[in-house]
Amino acid sequence: MGQRGGHRLGRGLGTLALAALAAVGCSSSPPPAAPPPTDPAGPVIAFADAQLAATADSLAPPAYPVRTNPDGTWLTEGPDDWTAGFLPAALWRVFERTRDPVWRDRAERWQSPLTPETSHDDTDLGFKMFMTFAVDHQLTGDEAAKQTALAAADTLAARFDPTVGMIRVWDDRDDTTQYQVNVDAMMNLELLWWAAQNGRPQYADIARRHADRTITDLVRPDGSTTMFGGYDQNTGALQRLYTEQGARDDSTWARGQAWAVYGFATAYRYTRDPRYLDTARRTADWFVTHLPPDRVPYWDFSVPQAPPEPRDTSAAAITASALLELSQLDPGRAGDVDAARGMLASLSSPAYLARDTPFRSILLHGTQNLPDGQQDSGIMFGDYYFVEALNRWERQVGPATQIAG
């Protein structure tokens, strides 16, 4: 993209986002000077649908869109990439909202080549196989999709080690010299909790043990998170805390924090265990109170909170969607809807929306992995969570136009 996050903020934040900032009580932002915006989120949903349709119909599996190239086209990977499920997952969310069979056809066309991934020994199977096949089953009742998701749950559960009490990520299952677990892996647990309700009751305990140790080791007392724990597989002892995608071992990587909020909200939805609700609240509060004035985080909360550090719009989209879920799970909790509104309004503004740009993504300014040079691009999973959050808004709060405040 050649430009770093937030470069368009000065001219980009219109009344839509400013109204939202006022709504979340951001003291550093000016009060809205104008009446309610004329650019509500209704057209944003139409834009998102159009971008997804163009992506789905101009590319073909097995070239799955991951993030945008500098010219705005999609960089693609094969079905084995952990992100491969996000396009079909987003297509299912449009089908969920519209019930238009055209979207079901698109989703199935992109989902079908992922079927062999059931045996891919990779913990990010939760992302790839729950949000596709399990959601397909939830939306359509398709029995074959259910069986595919259950087979993926079997593969994921096989990576659980009872001595560590967690599911290992990334590394070779047979490597006993290291055992790595990241906070991201909370996102894989929904596959297990769902499987537990669909014929694999034994997986609930695996998910619970993993979540419990994530709280103990990766969630700090103040509600921030560390990305990785490294364990001794022979004793189960925690050896070190570190990062792979954040700025420092002791920093708070923005998307890791977002995964924690979303992961523990989901854990509470399935279990109603108050510890998970408490952890979702603490991590959400930490995220929201550390946001910059325009409500879209920089890629890591511990770097200077100013350009040229890039933003990560995906972290905002993930957290906005999770906050909407939390607002339903914990209706007594004030502020979640307003906090989600603030993030969604900012993401819907010209500063972050790809409208009127050559970018094929819905959102701009995501950072997939800065230490690997993947920064400031559209990201398919950021788009997915934005679409999911807009759906949740419409289902729970009202017309998306209300995002404007």
Hey, which residues between 153 and 192 contact ligand GLY (CB under 6 A)?
184
Q: How far is the CB of 20 from ligand GLY (least distance, A)?
A: 25
Say whether 124 is catalytic. yes
- Residue number with CB closer to ligand GLY (184 or 394): 184
Q: How far is the CB of 53 from ligand GLY (least distance, A)?
A: 26
- Residue number with CB closer to ligand GLY (255 or 282): 255
Task: Centre a 10 Å sphere on the Cβ of residue 222 and count the other Cβ atoms it contains.
Answer: 10
CA 334 to chain CA mean position, Å: 22
**Amino acid present at 195:** A
Q: Is 128 in the site for ligand GLY (CB under 6 A)?
A: no
Which residue has its beta carbon closest to ligand GLY? 184
3-state secondary structure 356-391: CCCCCCCECCECCEHHHCECCECEHHHHHHHHHHHH
Q: Buried b vs exposed e over 21-36: b needs ≥16 C-beta within 10 Å? A: bbbbebeebeebeeee
- Residue number with CB closer to ligand GLY (41 or 185): 185
**Amino acid present at 330:** D
- Residue number with CB closer to ligand GLY (217 or 244): 244
- Residue number with CB closer to ligand GLY (271 or 367): 367
Rg for the chain, CA atoms, rounded? 20
Hey, which residues between 23 and 82 contact ligand GLY (CB under 6 A)?
none
End-to-end CA distance of the chain: 31
Q: Catalytic: which of 49, 81, 122, 184?
A: 184
Q: Is 255 in the site for ligand GLY (CB under 6 A)?
A: yes
- Joined together, the tokens standing for residue 390 give 């807009």
What residues contact residue 345 under an 8 Å CB cut-off, 6+ apart?
16, 17, 19, 20, 21, 41, 295, 403, 404, 405
Hey, which residues between 206 and 245 contact ligand GLY (CB under 6 A)?
245
Angle formed by the axes of helices 254-271 and 274-289, nearest 10°:
150
- Residue number with CB closer to ligand GLY (182 or 327): 182
Per-residue binder mask for ligand GLY (CB under 6 A), 85-104, x = binder: --------------------
Q: Catalytic: which of 81, 122, 124, 336?
A: 124
Q: Is 300 in the site for ligand GLY (CB under 6 A)?
A: no
What residues contact residue 120 under an 8 Å CB cut-off, 6+ apart?
80, 155
Number of residues this chain uses to bind ligand GLY (CB under 6 A): 3
Q: Which residues are catalytic?
A: 124, 184
Q: Which residue ranges make up the site for ligand GLY (CB under 6 A)?
A: 184, 245, 255
